[in-house]
Amino acid sequence: MPTQALRNGEMIKVKACEIHVGDIVKVEKDQSFPADLLLIASSVEDSSCKIETANLDGETNLKTRYTPNVPFSFDTIEKLSSMKGKISCELPNQDIHTFKGSLSLEGHSVHELPLSHLNLLLKGSILKSTEYAIGIAVYTGKDTKIIRNMNKGRVKFSSVNYMLNIFIAMVAILLVALCLLFAGLSSYHEFTFPRKYTYTGLPKLKVNDAASVILSFLTFYILFNLLIPISLFVTFEFVKIIQAWFITRDNQLAVYGADPHNPERNILVRSTALSSDLNADLAKIDIIFSDKTGTLTESSMFFNKCCVGSSYVHDDLLHKGALGNELTRMKDLLKDRSLHSVEITPEEEQWFNTLNTLLLLSLCHDVSPRENNESSSSQTLNTESSSVLFEGASVDEIALVQGAFNNGFQVKFCSDKKIIVCILGRDNIFEKVCEIPFTPERKRMSVLFEIPESFLCDYPVYRKMYNLRSVTSSSRSLTSTLNGIDRASDVNSKVLVCFTKGADSFLFPCMESLHSKQHKARLDEQILNFAKQGLRTLLLAFKFVDTTHAQDWVMKYHSIKSMTHLDHNTEFTLEALEKEMETNLQIVGATAIEDMLQPQVPETIKFFLDAGLQLWMLTGDKRETALNAAFLENFLDENTQIISLNGEDGSIERSPESMNKAIEDLLASKNDPSNCGTSQALVIDGHAFSQCMEHESSTKLFVELIKKCKTVICCRATPKQKAQLVDITMNRLGKTSLAIGDGANDVPMILKAKVGIGIMGKEGTQAKLASDYSIPRFYMLKRLLTVHGRYSYKRSAKRIQYSFYKNITLTFIHIYFTFYTMYSGQTLVDSSILSWYNLIFTILNPFVFGLFDKDIHEKHLEDPETGPKL
């Protein structure tokens, strides 16, 4: 489809192949981008736009892209034509989730503006909900990220193919040996026969007549070549494709679900076989690695409970407005209180914590609201009024923003520069100063906001807390605050707040050292209680930031982020800056989100365990949450002895000696006679696992430990650690592994495993696209392995046996006949029969065996009583 590019002061239609780096391109609604573009203008007021990236990462939810932080707009052709500047960016690569660069414009006060992936419109994505978008071509043609990803193939070799190749090699060696043997016998016969029977008049073969020997070898090679079943490779590939089709068309591996493009319409979501080579390997699995959220659970998140401060718990958040009503009640109660007193009353502190909790939930996120006037994606949440839809990459964030919405903090607009929140009926514009994004390694995100004056007027306790609490600048020490120095000059000063949310194990070390240890202990206890109920927890924290300090910090941070290449020292400096902003945080509270189990998950896991398979759970959740889920899902039972390697509580020092001793103690407990016959499960966190991988001695002991365990539960695991665990079992234990997951964080282990299974969940389809097979629900894994896997393996084995049998039978008939033909290489049957032997006479049986043979009826294979034994 032709797009428009700026040529000689006007927009003209051009082909995608005519776009060059530096061209200004205009794309209209529902058009795909012809190149990787840097967004500079759009039809929206703040120059942002919505895009759909389903062609890139499979995610159907709309994403928001923003223009660089330029104080003026390029809303006319004249401005675009006169624009002059320079874009510095990294070399073309295949990573669609990162982009580093800087933009320099003539006449702009800031020398370099940092660029990120949020400013980039990738080729293959489609413009949605925006009339037009204008961008500068950064990468074109084969340098675009979508093209860079196309040439990255992934090959997994089936164990059946491997054994088949060994058999073919053995038969080929046998063929050569037979040809040499009979060529020698033929030559010997031709050498002795004319001399013994001179009346025949046959020419006498000379000893050095090599041509005759070679001719005999070729004659027997042609006669015996049927020994190698060449037709097997043709039928083998064809049958595997039909077997994969059987998986796709199996109605028991399908479920009705909402159409991503039209939620009001239900469609039949079928399983898919993206690779037909591994059908037989489905029956040879030794160990299953499973993610938890979205794989074993529905990934339908509900903001269930919340801890405000360190002890005040709301457990009725399923009822709309529980926190909002509490906030309104306390606002009316405290409206006549003096704000000039130095001390903070308990009521004011509780009000502030409640207010800060809702404020953080409505501001610290990457969720975008939009009106409910279009078809929504699978990854949206609808408010009860059906007027607003929330879209985002994380269902957890959507649930938290939805919870804030239900409690009176209604997010109305989001961009990279500001967020508009309607708080109990009044709009407030919060300017976004900077954002430190979430990463799987950091497990937290932070956002720096300027609090508007309208909010401070409505909630003066916020200004009072700002004046009385410690500020990160040295001019705002806790001592001077508690001494009650005059802060009249601060009445009109800017209030900057850093909001942070993340995993408690990663946020607690960032807490203010002077903060009450008792408060931390109480909050940790509440989080533990949430986790024991199987709820997903997040810790909330904040701190006030001095304006001068914030300006210096933001300038340093943006200068590093704008670099196109980060060496080790620069990355270290960037991490130090992030830690500087996320240090001395103060407690806001904690959230608990409920996620329901998928149907038939406990029964499916019990079936696999009874069948002798090992099941490991690899999750990013807290230890207690993972343990509670493991008992609910039948990973563990009351007879299982739990052993732990916990690196978060500081019980294991960060040294190889300390880790080795901890593992040796666990191995000793396993060998204790009192534990004889008791199955053990290892619970390990990401911190401890990373220590095990740092030194070879610890790794070897860890491998010995997992050999003796019935199951392993790894909590707080990063995507890289998940892949490492899969790699250990394959390369060090020699086990055939299967990995199943639903999100982008599961892709590394899906790619690493022998067989990768993707769940079609609510976190996009990246796991599906990276997998070998995809299924809608976890319980369907049982039928996939026990029925389709077993049948494919048995059928493949019989087909291979039959193919060798029929060819060897005919070949050995000729071998037997050769003894009666004086080793002359004569054929017993007509050559036409030999030509049609594989093509017509024996073509039917391999397909019958390969497609329809059933040694046991499938109902017995899936039965919980008989299936595990088979």
User: What is the Cα gyration radius of the chain?
Assistant: 34
What integer pLDDT is reported at residue 486 of this predicted model? 42
pLDDT in tens, 211-240: 778 888 999 998 888 888 888 888 888 999
H or E segment and range at residue 266? strand 262-270
Q: Alpha-carbon distance 33 to 14, whole Å?
A: 13
User: What Å distances lie between residue 595 and 5, 301, 548, 744, CA to CA?
Assistant: 48, 5, 43, 19
Long-range Cβ contact pairs of 317-322 (< 8 A, separation 24 or more): 317/403, 317/407, 320/384, 320/406, 320/407, 321/406, 321/407, 321/408, 322/407
Is the pLDDT at 545 greater than 60? The verdict is: yes
User: 439 Cβ partners below 8 Å, 6+ apart?
Assistant: none
Q: Alpha-carbon distance 65 to 366, whole Å?
A: 11
Q: Alpha-carbon distance 403 to 395, whole Å?
A: 12
Q: Alpha-carbon distance 691 to 674, whole Å?
A: 30
pLDDT in tens, 369-416: 877 654 444 455 444 444 678 877 777 888 899 888 888 889 998 887
Give the mean model confidence (pLDDT) for residues 137-147. 90
Is the pLDDT at 514 greater than 60? The verdict is: no
C-alpha of 33 from chain center: 25
Token pair 């499979």 is at which residue?
58
Q: Alpha-carbon distance 453 to 851, whole Å?
A: 73
Q: Alpha-carbon distance 455 to 433, whole Å?
A: 17
pLDDT in tens, 269-303: 899 999 888 999 999 999 999 998 888 888 777 88
Q: CB atoms < 10 A from the CB of 305, how many?
A: 22
Q: What is the amino acid identity at position 648?
A: E
Give the mean model confidence (pLDDT) for residues 483-491. 42
Whether the CA torsion 750, 753, 756, 758 is positive or negative: it is: negative
Q: What is the amino acid identity at position 732?
A: R
Which residues in 198-223 are b (16+ Cβ under 10 Å) and which e? Answer: eeeeeeebeeeeeebbeebbebbbeb
User: 575 Cβ partners below 8 Å, 6+ apart?
Assistant: none
User: 44 Cβ partners below 8 Å, 6+ apart?
Assistant: 130
Give the mean model confidence (pLDDT) for residues 754-760. 91
Comparison of pLDDT for 554 and 524, the residue scoring more: 554
H or E segment and range at residue 306? strand 297-308
Please answer whether residues 51 and 44 qualify as being in contact, where contact means their C-beta atoms are separated by less than 8 angstroms: no
H or E segment and range at residue 132? strand 132-139
DSSP state of 511: B
Is the pLDDT at 483 greater than 60? The verdict is: no
Confidence class for position 566, pLDDT limits 50, 70, 90: low
What integer pLDDT is reported at residue 332 of this predicted model? 62
What integer pLDDT is reported at residue 661 of this predicted model? 87
pLDDT in tens, 335-377: 555 455 556 777 778 888 888 898 999 999 988 887 765 444 4
Is the pLDDT at 775 greater than 70? The verdict is: yes
Q: Alpha-carbon distance 323 to 562, whole Å?
A: 40
Nearest to residue 529, comparing CAs of 229, 265, 305?
Answer: 305
Q: Alpha-carbon distance 153 to 148, whole Å?
A: 11
C-alpha of 415 from chain center: 25
What integer pLDDT is reported at residue 372 of this predicted model? 66
Range of lowest pLDDT (138-147, 757-766, 811-820): 757-766
Phi, psi of 37, deg, nearest 5: -115, 145
Q: What would the two tokens of residue 222 be?
A: 């042609």
Please tell me the pTM assigned to this model: 0.71
When the pLDDT of each residue in the chain is averaged and rounded to a whole number, the result is 82
What integer pLDDT is reported at residue 870 of this predicted model? 56
CATH number assigned to the domain covering 298-593: 3.40.1110.10
Comparison of pLDDT for 339 and 552, the residue scoring more: 552
Give me the helices (H) in 98-198, please: 145-150, 159-196
Q: What is the amino acid identity at position 366?
A: D
Comparison of pLDDT for 674 and 41, the residue scoring more: 41
Q: Alpha-carbon distance 296 to 759, whole Å?
A: 10
Is the pLDDT at 63 greater than 70? The verdict is: yes
Give the mean model confidence (pLDDT) for residues 475-504. 60
Is the pLDDT at 30 greater than 70? The verdict is: yes
Long-range Cβ contact pairs of 636-640 (< 8 A, separation 24 or more): 636/681, 636/711, 636/713, 639/678, 639/679, 640/678, 640/679, 640/680, 640/681, 640/710, 640/711
Task: Return the bridge partners of 524, or none.
Answer: none
What integer pLDDT is reported at residue 499 of this predicted model? 95
Give the mean model confidence (pLDDT) for residues 44-53. 83
Is the pLDDT at 552 greater than 80? The verdict is: yes
Nearest to residue 136, comparing CAs of 34, 251, 281?
Answer: 34
Domain ranges of the chain: 3-150, 160-245+789-869, 265-297+598-787, 298-593
Give the mean model confidence (pLDDT) for residues 25-51. 89
What integer pLDDT is reported at residue 322 of this predicted model? 66
Give the mean model confidence (pLDDT) for residues 498-523. 78
Range of lowest pLDDT (251-260, 516-525, 559-568, 721-730): 559-568
User: What Å distances lie between residue 764 and 267, 373, 390, 565, CA to CA?
Assistant: 17, 22, 15, 30
Give the mean model confidence (pLDDT) for residues 650-671. 77
Q: What is the amino acid identity at position 725?
A: L
Is the pLDDT at 634 greater than 90? The verdict is: no
Q: What would the two tokens of residue 387 be?
A: 């007027």
C-alpha of 152 from chain center: 18
Give CA angle at 639 (635, 640), nearest 5°. Answer: 50
Please answer whether residues 269 and 305 qualify as being in contact, where contact means their C-beta atoms are separated by less than 8 angstroms: no
Is the pLDDT at 783 greater than 90? The verdict is: yes
H or E segment and range at residue 388? strand 388-391
3 state SS of 613: coil
Give the mean model confidence (pLDDT) for residues 616-625. 84
What integer pLDDT is reported at residue 469 of this predicted model? 64
What integer pLDDT is reported at residue 650 of this predicted model? 59
Nearest to residue 257, comparing CAs of 270, 245, 272?
Answer: 270
What integer pLDDT is reported at residue 651 of this predicted model? 62
What integer pLDDT is reported at residue 424 of this predicted model? 82
Give the mean model confidence (pLDDT) for residues 153-165. 81
What integer pLDDT is reported at residue 604 of this predicted model? 93
Phi, psi of 39, deg, nearest 5: -65, 130
Is the pLDDT at 490 greater than 60? The verdict is: no
Is the pLDDT at 478 greater than 90? The verdict is: no
Assign a CATH topology to domain 265-297+598-787: Rossmann fold (3.40.50)
Confidence class for position 264, pLDDT limits 50, 70, 90: low
Q: Alpha-carbon distance 449 to 364, whole Å?
A: 9
Q: Alpha-carbon distance 850 to 797, whole Å?
A: 9
Give the mean model confidence (pLDDT) for residues 733-750. 89
What integer pLDDT is reported at residue 624 of this predicted model? 77
CATH number assigned to the domain covering 3-150: 2.70.150.10
Q: Alpha-carbon distance 626 to 777, whole Å?
A: 20
DSSP state of 121: E
Q: CB atoms < 10 A from the CB of 766, how many?
A: 21
Give CA angle at 752 (766, 292), nearest 5°. Answer: 60
pLDDT in tens, 705-741: 998 888 999 988 888 889 999 999 999 999 999 999 9
3 state SS of 726: helix
Please answer whether residues 73 and 41 qualify as being in contact, where contact means their C-beta atoms are separated by less than 8 angstroms: yes
Q: Alpha-carbon distance 464 to 348, whole Å?
A: 10
H or E segment and range at residue 358? helix 346-363
Please provide the size of the chain in residues. Answer: 870
